[in-house]
């Protein structure tokens, strides 16, 4: 699956790598600044099992 996605990206390997890093940074930004803060009121610390 990853090989097929890699082949779909345009340009030489370094452009593909740059595209992948930019997309990864955008996904992490969205998770940390939009998804996790929205989800945090629904997860109570008492319900988290650390064992």
Structural domains in the chain (count): 1
Are 9 and 16 in contact by the 8 Å Cβ rule? The answer is yes
Asked whether residue 47 is domain-assigned, the answer is: no
Neighbours of 49 (CB within 10 A): 5
In a domain, 51, yes or no: no
- pTM for the model: 0.72
- Which pLDDT belongs to residue 33? 95
Domain that holds residue 31: 2-39
pLDDT band at 43 (very low <50, low <70, confident <90, very high): confident
| Confidence bin at 24 (pLDDT 50/70/90) | very high
Classify residue 18: in a domain, yes or no: yes
Q: What percent of the chain has pLDDT over 70?
A: 96
The model's confidence at residue 51, banded by pLDDT at 50, 70 and 90, is low
Report yes or no on 34 lying in a domain. yes
């Amino acid at each position: 699956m990853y090989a097929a996605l890699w082949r779909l990206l345009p340009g030489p390997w370094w452009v593909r790598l740059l595209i992948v890093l930019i997309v990864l940074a955008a996904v992490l930004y969205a998770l940390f600044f939009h998804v996790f803060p929205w989800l945090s009121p629904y997860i109570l610390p008492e319900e988290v099992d650390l064992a």
